[in-house]
């Protein structure tokens, strides 16, 4: 285990009937807030009414900025920054999943600066301040409710980049599992895949060979995510299943899974970002396409950790590369069972586009210092996704 410092400043309020607390939890940060949300589903399921009522009862003035889409756009972030400045907002409230929270973070970071917020994502500028952010989570997936990361798509350059800073951690996040009852089956599954991907990135990219505590922790999370996802796909109103899935997804990317692992990377996310930037497919769907092929590529280079994963997560036995590959096949079959695509063709992406996708991924590979991922290697991994 490597040296580490673990500090997470986000307060989590978890459980039923907690949405009303968003007003009093936000009030200390300002009197005028920008309410950021998605395409309107929160109005149909009454979450919007609950949140605005709580904010108004706490004496807050609310400026609304809806319309965040899956794979959130830079242009929408820039519009939010302009609206926030015009109305002199003092805090941001995000109501939604990772796309909404990431957009809110980018707005919070962009308000204090006089340059294009995209400069943060290109690594050209550092985040030195941000407006305070509070959240009401409505989708178990990204962990953005308890971390400082954010991902935005620049629709002009067709690039999907991610960056982060501790200043972007939400001050408070409300996690009421009952708010996810109406999440459709496909996005429930995509959220579970995203959470699993976060865990696997850490689990397989650490170079430390002695991480027993973290390994067991991550393996348990993967098992629980699959089990709880299966449970809620069978019954969307299973509160315990929704609660388990929501908390496990938060734990997957809040700093705890990566503690003590040393240098880790996000190669699967790097490749997937090109898929969703170029084709606007759901992030989790793109990940379920990339993950099995990336795992097979890496297992051929270093099968030991993949055998451990197969043994502990799927109960397989054996000490050969075949066992590692069998474990990967089990995971791929689970993706298929929850109806998340496992091939480029299933997402309507042509094999002849592979060079374009790989070329698009290279700038992010460079930015994230994934120097081993040349265009040829990315193409090889993508070729295994057909």
118-155 pLDDT tens trace: 999 999 999 999 999 999 999 999 999 999 999 999 99
Residues 164 and 217 in one domain: no
Question: Looking at the predicted structure, is the pLDDT value of residue 318 above 90?
Answer: no
Residues 169 and 208 in one domain: no
**Residue 259 belongs to a domain:** yes
Query: What does the pLDDT read at residue 240?
Result: 98
Dihedral sign for Cα atoms in the order 161, 341, 324, 357: negative
**Residue 4 belongs to a domain:** no
Residues 233 and 322 in one domain: yes
Residues 212 and 248 in one domain: yes
Residue with tokens 């003092």: 90
What CATH code is carried by the domain that includes residue 126?
3.40.50.1970
Question: Domain span at residue 360?
Answer: 184-383
Residues 121 and 149 in one domain: yes
**Residue 163 belongs to a domain:** yes
Give the pLDDT confidence of 69-90 residue by residue, as tens digits.
999 999 999 999 999 999 999 9
Question: Are 322 and 316 in contact, with CB atoms under 8 Å apart?
Answer: no
Q: How many folded domains does the chain comprise?
A: 2
Residues 159 and 199 in one domain: no
What's the CA gap between 57 and 55, in Å, rounded? 5
Query: What does the pLDDT read at residue 308?
Result: 96
Give the pLDDT confidence of 233-263 residue by residue, as tens digits.
999 999 999 999 999 999 999 999 999 999 9
Question: Looking at the predicted structure, is the pLDDT value of residue 319 above 90?
Answer: no
**Residue 5 belongs to a domain:** no
**Residue 192 belongs to a domain:** yes
What's the CA gap between 108 and 84, in Å, rounded? 9
What CATH code is carried by the domain that includes residue 282?
1.20.1090.10
pTM of the model: 0.95
Query: What does the pLDDT read at residue 287?
Result: 98
Residues 160 and 194 in one domain: no
Alpha-helical segments (H) within the chain? 22-26, 41-44, 47-57, 74-86, 98-110, 118-121, 185-205, 212-234, 239-252, 267-279, 283-301, 303-314, 321-337, 354-367, 375-383
Residues 283 and 232 in one domain: yes
Q: Which of 179, 205, 236 is the last residue of a domain?
A: 179
Q: Which of 159, 179, 199 is the last residue of a domain?
A: 179
**Mean confidence (pLDDT) of the chain:** 96
Task: Return the structure tokens found at 285.
Answer: 């769907």
SS3 state of residue 153: strand
Residues in the chain: 386
Residue 135 has a CB neighbour count (10 Å cut-off) of 30
Question: Looking at the predicted structure, is the pLDDT value of residue 386 above 90?
Answer: no
Residues 169 and 222 in one domain: no
Q: Which of 179, 209, 236 is the last residue of a domain?
A: 179
């Amino acid at each position: 285990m490597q040296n580490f410092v673990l500090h997470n400043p986000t307060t989590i309020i978890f459980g039923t009937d907690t949405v009303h607390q968003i007003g009093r939890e936000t009030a200390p940060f300002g009197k005028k807030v920008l309410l950021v949300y998605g395409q309107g589903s929160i109005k149909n399921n009454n979450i919007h009414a609950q949140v605005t009522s709580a904010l108004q009862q706490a004496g807050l003035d609310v400026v609304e900025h809806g319309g965040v889409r899956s794979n959130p756009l830079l242009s929408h972030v820039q519009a939010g920054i302009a609206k926030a400045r015009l109305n002199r907002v003092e805090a941001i409230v995000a109501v939604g999943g990772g796309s909404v929270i990431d957009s809110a973070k980018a707005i919070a970071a962009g308000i204090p600066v006089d340059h294009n917020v995209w400069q943060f994502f290109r690594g050209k500028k550092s985040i030195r301040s941000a407006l305070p952010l509070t959240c009401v989570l409505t989708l178990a997936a990204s962990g953005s409710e308890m971390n400082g990361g954010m991902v935005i798509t620049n629709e002009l350059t067709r690039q999907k980049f991610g960056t982060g800073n501790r200043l972007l951690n939400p001050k408070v996040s409300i996690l009421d599992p009952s708010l996810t009852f109406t999440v459709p089956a496909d996005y429930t599954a995509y959220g579970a895949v995203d959470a699993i991907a976060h865990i696997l990135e850490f689990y397989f990219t650490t170079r430390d060979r002695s991480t027993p505590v973290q390994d067991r922790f991550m393996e348990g999370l993967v098992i629980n995510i699959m089990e709880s996802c299966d449970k809620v796909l069978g019954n969307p109103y299973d509160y315990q299943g929704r609660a388990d899935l929501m908390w496990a997804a938060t734990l997957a990317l809040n700093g705890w899974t990566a503690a003590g692992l040393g240098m880790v990377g996000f190669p699967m996310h790097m490749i997937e970002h090109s898929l969703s930037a170029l084709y606007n497919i759901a992030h989790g769907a793109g990940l379920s396409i990339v993950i099995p092929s990336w795992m097979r590529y890496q297992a051929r280079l270093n099968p030991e950790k993949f055998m451990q994963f197969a043994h502990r997560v799927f109960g397989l036995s054996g000490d050969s590369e075949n066992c590692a590959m069998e474990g990967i096949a089990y995971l791929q079959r689970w993706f298929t069972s929850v109806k998340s695509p496992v091939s480029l063709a299933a997402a309507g992406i042509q094999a002849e586009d592979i060079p374009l996708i790989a070329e698009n991924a290279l700038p992010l590979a460079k930015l994230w210092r994934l120097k081993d991922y040349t265009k040829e290697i990315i193409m090889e991994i993508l070729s295994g996704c057909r």
